[in-house]
Amino acid sequence: MQTSFKSSQRQQSGYALTITLTFLMVTLIVFASIMYWISSSASVSKRNNLFNTSQAAAQAGVERVVAQMDRDFIYGNVNDASFYTTLVGDISQTGWPVQYSFSDTNGSTGHISVNMFPVDWSTNYEYNLGSQFPGLYGAVQHWTLTAVATPLNQGYNLSSTVIETLRLSKIPVFQFGVFYNLDLDFSPGQSLTMNGKVHCNGTIWMCPQADAYFNDLVEASIVVTNKDNPNDQQNLTFNSSKLHYKASLPPVSHADSVAVPINGQNTSATNVHAIIDLPPTAIAIPNDDGYLQTNQIYLYNECDLIISNSATGINGKSVYRTNLSVFFSDQANPSGRLILVTNDLQWITTNIAAGVTNRVTNCFYSFITNVTFYDHRESDTVQAIQIDVNLFNKWVTNTVTRGSNQVAGYPWNFQLGGANGQTGDKAHPIDSIYVYNSVPQNSTQLPAVRVVNGYRLPSPKGLTIATPMPLYVLGDYNIETNIGGGTSVLTTNTAWTWPAALMGDAITILSSSWNDTGAAYQAGQTYSGRNAVNTTINAACLEGIVVSTSVSGTKHYSGGLENFLRLLENWNGDTLQYNGSIVVMFPSVYATNFWVGPAGSGYYDKPIRQWGFDSNFKTPNGSPPCAPEAKRLIRDNWNASGQ
């Protein structure tokens, strides 16, 4: 029998082929998956990178506007929102790996969205101004910037939107207990307590010789040192036991600088002096540009009254108040922006000559005159325009007219809004006076301004007196608000005061016992015969100092914070009570003689200093008129989104 077998070779070949094809298919699927993953990952990476660059481009669009806005705000005033919407058009994209189109939220290309509120921010006050300004308020305007950046020719429409919110803040500097735009020297020889925040845009040289107490933050943009100024001829040694900071508020070095800029310039002390100087003619009132917000930082442009004299009006003995003029400044009245105020008093002489009677020989103002006295520190005869604040108070309430002329202050006060609840053109009474003394300065003569009888100010809105010249205050200032009421004499309680500021090249306090014509007050006399009496000054003081320096190897101390108010009398045993805000902005230009310590100085002996910061200044209604403002752009929220 023959048995036959089927061959399995073909089956085995087919099986191997199937296995091979299956493996190949799996390999192709895996390869395809890997390639797909690689392709997808590359696409995701590209999209992610594109989104990130789109976000960066949108941020660049926002920052372009922020930079311009910050510059405009710090050195002038911001423009309307519409001005900033097209600034993205000048962003150079040269070298960018991707080119972008910018648009606003409405899709308008070449624009970004810029919104601000409120339009009138003069009364929009806020206190949450960030860690550098705790407890301080500012006039605030909110801005929202929105930029959409879309990549061009990338195959993806991965646009990104960036939104940033900002606050432009104007912070009155009189909220600081002490504000120095220069180096601050502090070496008191008697116990002294400082209230209110202390800020210095330079270095604080801290070397007290008696117990010194700081009850608020002390900060410097450079450094707070524990040593005497190297230019102090006293060569003092630091004693740590004499310096007392509040436990929770150690001193801070390298703090942000606080800018009070002027006329597009930086914050150097020389430039800042311009706020009390006459403005350049082109931007001085009554020219249109003088009324721009940008140029209202000049006190000449901002004040309600301007007092001036001619260069020949220097006869200090004149009782006729000759060669003096008062101008009324009204921004809201184009036809009468700067009006010469008619003299309210006349000197009438009869029978000057045969047939002539009732002849007016002199016209003058009841509240201003020219006076002369000697300044022993400056070694100069002071030719001063003097303002009698008590007579000024009567002038602003006087309704007398002479024919068709307004010869007393009530009509002007009423026009501004200072009577019977009227809102008026400025919505406040006359509360600020700018004084320019045209007397030429020379080696023996010093032009200046002096205020007297300032114990009560004209209204609850207060009074600011500003001048580019040295300013003297004779007697108590701003110590009561009404007759028969309380008084803020020799106390840190300022309940019986109204907002007040004194601004000048230097500020000197003369007690009420000062005598212009007394023998001890003349040139060559020592202070021993010029005995002071207790005096209270309640006002913010902005002024200059003669900075510590070395000249030909000779050291000269500034006098320090403790001598920021100049003195010319024997104050030994008498009290100088000061409540206000100490603001030193620039080197003095007129009163430039160096400080010499009381010992052997020949011109003063130190008082008992009782100083307090007037906390009323930290409320909008308590701020003195025309207070200079620091400016700060504060960044709030930032967020981004895309598609």
Closest CA to 573 of 608, 620, 624: 608
Would residue 239 count as lying in a domain? yes
Mean pLDDT of 248-260: 90
Question: What band does 446 get if pLDDT is binned at 50, 70 and 90?
Answer: very high
Would residue 397 count as lying in a domain? yes
- Least confident span in 1-15, 18-32, 374-388: 1-15
Mean pLDDT of 384-394: 95
Same domain? 450 vs 490: yes
pLDDT tens, residue by residue, 144-166: 999 999 888 876 778 889 999 99
Same domain? 412 vs 474: yes
The answer on pLDDT for 320 being more than 50 is no
Same domain? 127 vs 212: no
Q: Which residue has the higher pLDDT, 24 or 5?
A: 24
Helix (H, G, I), strand (E, B) or coil at 426: coil
Same domain? 18 vs 159: yes
- Least confident span in 142-151, 290-299, 304-313, 440-449: 304-313
Same domain? 164 vs 180: no
Mean pLDDT of 255-275: 72
Mean pLDDT computed over every residue of the chain: 86
Mean pLDDT of 390-406: 86
Same domain? 534 vs 408: yes
Domain enclosing residue 155, as ranges: 12-171+631-642
Question: What band does 291 get if pLDDT is binned at 50, 70 and 90?
Answer: confident
| Residue type at position 246 | K
Same domain? 180 vs 123: no
Q: What pLDDT is recorded for position 577?
A: 97
Same domain? 49 vs 149: yes
Would residue 220 count as lying in a domain? yes
Q: Which of 258, 291, 320 is the last residue of a domain?
A: 258
Q: What pLDDT is recorded for position 7?
A: 53
Would residue 289 count as lying in a domain? no
Percent of the chain past pLDDT 90, that is, above it, reads: 57
Same domain? 180 vs 105: no
Same domain? 469 vs 601: yes
Sort 72 into a burial class: Cβ within 10 Å, 0-12 / 13-18 / 19+.
Answer: middle
Mean pLDDT of 272-285: 90
Q: What pLDDT is recorded for position 317?
A: 37
Percent of the chain past pLDDT 70, that is, above it, reads: 86
Same domain? 327 vs 377: yes
Would residue 293 count as lying in a domain? no
Q: Which two tokens stand for residue 551?
A: 């000249």
Would residue 288 count as lying in a domain? no
Helix (H, G, I), strand (E, B) or coil at 595: coil
Same domain? 24 vs 95: yes
Question: What band does 260 get if pLDDT is binned at 50, 70 and 90?
Answer: confident
The answer on pLDDT for 617 being more than 60 is yes
Would residue 507 count as lying in a domain? yes
Would residue 271 count as lying in a domain? no
Our count of domains for the chain comes to 3
Q: What pLDDT is recorded for position 40?
A: 57
The model carries a pTM of: 0.87
Instruction: Please give the backbone phi and psi of residue 106, each rounded to the nearest 5 degrees, phi first.
Output: -95, 0
Question: What band does 575 get if pLDDT is binned at 50, 70 and 90?
Answer: very high
Q: What pLDDT is recorded for position 342?
A: 84
Instruction: Please give the backbone phi and psi of residue 309, each rounded to the nearest 5 degrees, phi first.
Output: -140, 170
Residues 571 and 606: beta-carbon distance below 8 Å: yes
Please state whether the peptide bond connecting residue 118 to the residue before it is cis, i.e. omega within 30 degrees of 0. yes
Supply the DSSP string of 610-622, one letter for each residue. Answer: EEEE-GGGGSGGG
The answer on pLDDT for 17 being more than 80 is no
Q: What pLDDT is recorded for position 339?
A: 86
Helix (H, G, I), strand (E, B) or coil at 286: coil
Q: Residue 5: CB partners within 8 Å, gap ≥ 6?
A: none
Q: Which of 225, 241, 258 is the last residue of a domain?
A: 258
Residues 231 and 548: beta-carbon distance below 8 Å: yes
Q: What angle do CA 395, 399, 400 make, to 5 degrees?
A: 90
Q: What pLDDT is recorded for position 251?
A: 95
Side-chain-side CA neighbours of 263 within 13 Å: the count stands at: 20
